[in-house]
Structure 1
């Protein structure tokens, strides 16, 4: 553990973050750049005394839990997080499970696409970020418990009699096959992740179709680049589907857009105004 380098690194990262970055008021008497020690400590869920000792190179080696809190509080990049671990004498190990942390730049990107329904999928097909139009077109994910945001689970074990036809997808069978293949590949990348193992076990026990697809051992398939979703308010919406890989997080950004001037573009425009409110039932 390099206490002096760790101390200098923590101080430099703390001083670059403004209170506004983390939703704190600046206040009229702020004399130091960036966050105060007590503010950073509160964000990291450690005591101000311990943070002070870290910056004074007097603290014992922080645990991995503390390192995770420091990285979160200081909004470290992946490279900075690895550097923090090395300075603390605890080199980062391989990722145990799929990352669910979405970079702020990606979250901002979703909101900058007002006429595209965009969302982020983890390696296990969990929807972990979305914009307003994706919620209006597909589902209000914020109203769902986390387990119900997994598209593989909803595809094969959906709550409705025709739950397999996820969001009225016209290519439901193709999507199911592709999702099963992607999940098999993810299970191989994260063999020690209990959530992925539990998801696979649940699907094998609850869906004969998934069990058959799983038994095929197929792991690669090209998704369809054009889809039609049947929305209860605006009817069929045909969209182009583009998928951007986020390699460092093992995530995918899915973007649905309609052909300019088409009826589907008008449907998306209406949904961008209506949002997630229900117009097809009495108030």
Structure 2
């Protein structure tokens, strides 16, 4: 998986587990997302850290709703996962907007092919549209391999 991550250069790429803990990443991932050393969980960062609302453009509609919908699907597949249950509870207890959105009962398996925008310090605050390329390794299908590919397409 390390070779696959590095093969994605210059695009950021990471590998996460079933509860969105980032377990491996390439150098551009850490350049783009310097929060990884202090919060290695993508979902916790997106919902519990204020800077996420600035860096994830259209936070509620483009990021929060789909993220919560993905958590819902993952919980349906892994209802006894302590990591997922803890993640859901931390997010819903720590973010009023997330608790409100959770009540909509949306479900989404993966974001593969979605285009979303980021406003990152790495890009000096400029909005960068990226296409999310998502896959699961056959030998570890509960893992997520994500590459963010800058795009000009909406």
Shift of 1:235: 3.3
- For structure 1, the 5+ residue unaligned runs are 1-105, 261-283
State whether structure 2 residue 29 is matched by structure 1 residue 134: yes
Deviant stretches of 4+, over 3 Å: 221-224, 232-235
State whether structure 2 residue 93 is matched by structure 1 residue 178: no
C-alpha contact 1:231 1:237 (8 A) present in aligned 2: no
> Counterparts in 2 of 1:42-191, with a 5 A limit?
106-139=1-34, 141=36, 143-144=37-38, 148-158=39-49, 162-165=50-53, 168-173=55-60, 174-191=62-79
- For structure 2, the 5+ residue unaligned runs are none
Shift of 1:242: 2.9
Shift of 1:176: 0.9
Shift of 1:175: 0.6
Q: CA 1:111–1:190 in 2, change beyond 3 Å: closer, same or farther? A: same
Distance 2:90 2:15 in 1: 23
Provide Cα deviations, 1:149-191, integer angstroms capped at 9, x if missing partner.
Answer: 1121112211xxx33426x122322211111110111111111
Distance 2:124 2:91 in 1: 32
Q: CA 1:153–1:226 in 2, change beyond 3 Å: closer, same or farther? A: closer
Distance 1:259 1:206 in 2: 33
Q: CA 1:133–1:247 in 2, change beyond 3 Å: closer, same or farther? A: closer
1:252 to 127, 144, 151: 144
TM-score, normalization: structure 1?
Answer: 0.46
TM-score, normalization: structure 2?
Answer: 0.79
Distance 1:153 1:181 in 2: 15
The structure with the larger Rg is 1
1:219 to 96, 100, 107: 107
**Structure with more strand by fraction:** 2
Higher relative contact order (CA 8 A, sep 6+): 2
C-alpha contact 2:133 2:149 (8 A) present in aligned 1: no
Distance 1:189 1:222 in 2: 13
